[in-house]
Structures are given as C-alpha cells and as structure tokens.
Amino acid sequence: MSLKKQALDILALNDRGTYTIPTQGLYPHQWNWDSVFIALGIATYDSDRAWTEILSLLEGQWPDGMIPSIIFRSDEPGYFPGPDRWGDTPGAIASTGVSQPPVLATIVRQLTVGDQQRRKDVFDQMFAWHAWFHDKRGIDGLITNVHPWETGRDNCPEWDIGLDRMDVAPDLAPYTRQDNKHSDPRFRPTELQYDKYISIVQFGESIGWDQRRLTDEGPFLMGDPNLHFILLRANRDLLAMAKDIGKPPTVIAQIEAWIEAGLKAADRLWNPELEAFTAIDVRSGTFSPGFSNCSGLCFYADAGSVEQRSKTLAHLDRINADVNYMLPSWDPNDDAFEPQRYWCGPLWAQMNYLTSMGLREQGYAAHAMELRCGLIDAIEKSGFWECFDPMTGEGCVSRNFSWTAAIWLAWDNETQQQGAA
Ligand code: DGY
C-alpha cells in the first residue's frame, strides 16, 4: 500500500468526528498540539474537516485563556491520569491543568491564507491563549513550564535538573499507570519520573489550578526553548494575522511587545558552556547539559545572534555525523542518550517539521533537507510511528500515529504543488 494511502487510513482510523486522537490505546483523547498538526495534514484533502479540528480544540479553552494539553472528551478509562486525577478544571470540557506548545497560530495562519473570516473567528481565542502564557508562565519575558508534560517533551533529560530538585509528594495517592500497558515500558518514562509527574498534578489540583501560583510556588519550574521559541514564532504569526484582519493598534502593540520581550529573554536560554539554546532550571540558574531537538528552533522563531545561529548549525552538523536519521530528541554525546526511549533520543515528526521549516526560511536549505529526509527515510523504513530510533530508523512507542501521518501528508502535498508550479 502506498505511504499516502497508509497516512490517509491512519487519520481516518483515529478520527472521532470533530477531533482526532493521536493513536488508539496510548492516547485516547484530544491532545492540543497533536490536533493542530493533524489539522495541517487533513487540510491537504478536506479543509472544512481540518477547520473543525481547530474549532474543537478551542472548545476546550479555559475562561482564563489557557488551552489545556489534553481535552477529555470521552469516558475512556484506558488513560492515566484521567479527569478524576486532575480534579475540577474550569473549562467547558474536562481537561488537564497544564498547557502545551502553542503551534496553533502558526498553523492557523497557513490554513487560512486568503480567508479573513476564519482568522477573525478564532483570533481572540488565540490572543487570549498567548496572553495567558505571558501572564501565567512568563518570568521577565522568559516562558517557563511547570510540568514536563507542558513542554510536550515528557522525559527529555532536559528536565532531570528540575526533577532532581523536587521530591515525590509524601502523600502521593496510589495510582496505576496505563501507558505501559499500551507500549513497551523500555520506551517510556521511569517509575520515579511518573511519581514526580503525578506529584506536580497533585500540587496543582490542591491549589485549585491557580496558574500563577503553580508557576511561582510549584515543585518544578524550568525555562524551555520549545515553549519559548514556539510562542515567539506564534506571536509573529498572530501579528501578521492581526494586521491582515485590521485589529486595533492596542492589540498590535501588545503582540509587538510580546515579541520584543521574547527576543530579549531568548538569551537566558543560551547555555554558555555548551554554546547552544537549552532548558534552564529557573530557580538554581542551572542549564541542561545537552543539545535537544528544540535547540534549533531559534531559526523558526527568527531569534538569536549571528554567532548563536552559527554555533547552532555546528551542533546540527556534529549530531548529523553521529546519527543516521536526523534529528534526535537528545544529544548523542550525553550519557543520558537512549535511542529508543521516548524523548531521550528518538526523532519526532513534529520537531523535524518545525526545525526544518525555520532552517529553510532562514536560508539553510541543506540543513532543512537533512531533517526532512531523516523523518521521511524513517517513515519509509518503518511506517507511521510515534517516534523513531535515530540510529536504525526503527519505530518506537506507538504505531499508526496521527501527527506523523499528517506531517508526511503536508510535506507530500507541498512537494506535489512545487512540482505543479
Ligand atoms: C502522556 O501521558 O504520556 C502524555 O505525553 C502526557 O501529555
């Protein structure tokens, strides 16, 4: 069967009418950034259904503007922690109490070229979400995260510094993991990491999901290049849409101020020893020790000095020489590199998509192509997995994964259009 047919079948298999699950079994609800990438793929053959995916995600928005990482749309018991563990959340639909990387405005801009009405329909909700990030997670312009799940890069070794500084809650209520029933445990986070993930959830629930308190007083707080650069880029796209649909000068000025603050604060993520953008434990000032697959998002955000960008390219070249399939989620030079364990090494479709998009836009077509080929080659070898071993291209964690299929379709569509032009 052709790859295109396989990708279309996966999106049909995971379609739940108005939203699409990432994969059956492991992730049976609506995930935030998954839905946005999925919309990008669906848009290649059904723009109305793609738009429904975006609108259904927005239905989960909280009154304070946050769009949560997971919207629990069914009683599906096979996922932990489900709605009972997150407790009372203020959105119209039960959800988690943390957010996820805001790729929404960037993809919405692509999906609505020439369609001002759709832009108008969703602009205020996107603006409110960006404002939420700046108000609730911002520290002097730096966008932080209160839970590794909020970064979308759950067990990346970037978070070890922050997790090592926190204790498992002494009164942690007993729980049973479900993820390891759906996938090989050697691919997934450890028991201790899970205890800490659930301890943070318990803390958030205990303070009624007061989001600023969660940032200021919660057990975990790190600055994250993924959230920071993705929001900075999303603000640029929000600004372009604000101008396109004639938003008032106050709105334009607010977004410009966010961009300026984001550009300035990016320097706080520059690890001078590694000479790369990495996560930082905000309270201790300690940097994460390795280059991850969001270190290169400075291009996507159009941030960083000439020197920072050239050092980043040198890291990409170094890593390219060490692996067979770009771009690993963790630095192969670091002891914590594990090529098959979730965010400790495997390459991920959405990160290759974003990083290669930035590289191409900034004029580094060859580097962009390495990332594109890395993912496409892994898909050709193994199929549409959640992530892939960067040494062998073998698929890891879950198969029939929606965003892998969606991104393949988006790239395939782009190639067809270029061929037709
Ligand atoms: C999980 O449960 O593994 C998810 O990544 C959390 O969003």
386 lines ligand 1 (CB under 6 A): no
415: amino acid identity, one letter = T
pTM score over 0.85: yes
314: amino acid identity, one letter = A
389 lines ligand 1 (CB under 6 A): no
d(CA 111, CA 88): 34
pLDDT tens digits, 383-392: 999 999 999 9
User: Which mean pLDDT values do the consecutive 10-residue runs of the chain (421 residues) have?
Assistant: 97 98 96 98 98 98 98 90 96 98 98 98 99 98 98 97 97 95 91 97 98 98 98 99 98 98 98 98 97 98 98 98 98 97 98 98 98 98 98 97 98 92 76
Contacts of 91 (CB under 8 A, 6+ apart): 60, 61, 62, 63, 68, 71
Closest CA to ligand 1's atom 4? 149
34 lines ligand 1 (CB under 6 A): no
Query: In the prediction, which pLDDT does 75 show?
Result: 80
Atom of ligand 1 nearest to the CA of 69: 7
69 lines ligand 1 (CB under 6 A): yes
pLDDT tens digits, 132-150: 999 999 999 999 999 999 9
Tell which one of 33, 96, 154 to mutate to probe ligand 1, the residue whose CB is within 8 A of the most ligand atoms: 154
Query: In the prediction, which pLDDT does 288 show?
Result: 98
Query: In the prediction, which pLDDT does 77 show?
Result: 84
Q: Which two structure tokens, joined as six digits, stand for 182?
A: 């759906």
Q: Which two structure tokens, joined as six digits, stand for 111?
A: 């999906």
**Ligand 1 centre distance from Cα of residue 154 (Å):** 7
CA angle 332, 337, 340 (to 5 degrees): 110
Query: In the prediction, which pLDDT does 419 show?
Result: 85
**Ligand 1 centre distance from Cα of residue 396 (Å):** 15
Atom of ligand 1 nearest to the CA of 31: 7
Query: In the prediction, which pLDDT does 420 show?
Result: 83
Question: Are 283 and 300 spatial neighbours (Cβ–Cβ below 8 Å)?
Answer: no
Query: In the prediction, which pLDDT does 107 show?
Result: 98
Q: Which two structure tokens, joined as six digits, stand for 128?
A: 């409110």
Query: In the prediction, which pLDDT does 258 show?
Result: 98
